Amino acid sequence: MIRILTLLLLLALPLRAEDFPATFAVTGVAANDVLNIRARPDAGSAIIGAIGPDATGVEVLGTSGNWAIVNTEEGSGYASLRFLAREPGPSWGALRTPLTCLGTEPFWALEIDPGARLTTFQTPEMPEPMTNSMTEIWPAGPWGTTAALTLQQGLGVLQPRQCSDGMSDRSYGIAIDIFSRSEDRPRLTGCCSLGLR
């Protein structure tokens, strides 16, 4: 009986899990220094990139112990969480943060700008990008991690999970599926990062 009551009490409490990806700011790094990005989560590991001492909007994809998983120009690496502070704001799943999504086979790009309530979709074959109003959104809730939004060309469904663009060694923390309304009804898959290009 006590175990059941304890379980019910735990279920009633709000969970505060870190939502990733999220943006962080560099903190505690001297003005003439950088925050190193390392190949492995180890201070003795090879340096594969660096972040400036006053950088903000650093996308952290997740953590490994006391290390943040971040992207470099060519791939992903690890930066010490000791020098990163999470920026305030809603989690990406609230769909109030700008996102840039990319896909291959076929190539496409989607920008989601919640502040302007606009989406912009483009393929290499399109002469002009297709910009549309965000008419409906379904943010991720406290017990679910999937979010969705309507697009002129269909429905976009976003989930937090490791994703690869298949073209680089970069990692992404959000996967997207676009279900098209067109006659041939293609399904596009891709990855999203925080911010607009």
Name residues whose C-beta falls within 8 Å of residue 175's C-beta, 6 or more positions apart in sequence: 158, 159, 160, 161, 163, 189, 190, 191, 192
Q: What is the pLDDT of residue 17?
A: 43
Q: What is the pLDDT of residue 14?
A: 34
The answer to whether residues 26 and 51 touch, using CB atoms and an 8 Å cutoff, is: yes
Q: Which of 181, 168, 180 is nearest to 74 (CA)?
A: 168
Helix (H) or strand (E) holding 99: strand 99-103
User: What's the CATH number for 22-86?
Assistant: 2.30.30.40
**What's the pLDDT tens digit per position in 20-77?**
999 999 999 999 999 999 999 999 999 999 999 999 999 999 999 999 999 988 799 9
| Single-letter residue type at 128 | E
Name residues whose C-beta falls within 8 Å of residue 117's C-beta, 6 or more positions apart in sequence: 133, 134
Q: What is the pLDDT of residue 18?
A: 54
Could you count the other beta carbons within 10 Å of the beta carbon of residue 138?
A: 15
Q: Which residues in the chain come in under a pLDDT of 50?
A: 1-17
Contacts 24+ apart (CB under 8 A), 50-53: 51/26, 51/79, 52/26, 53/26, 53/29
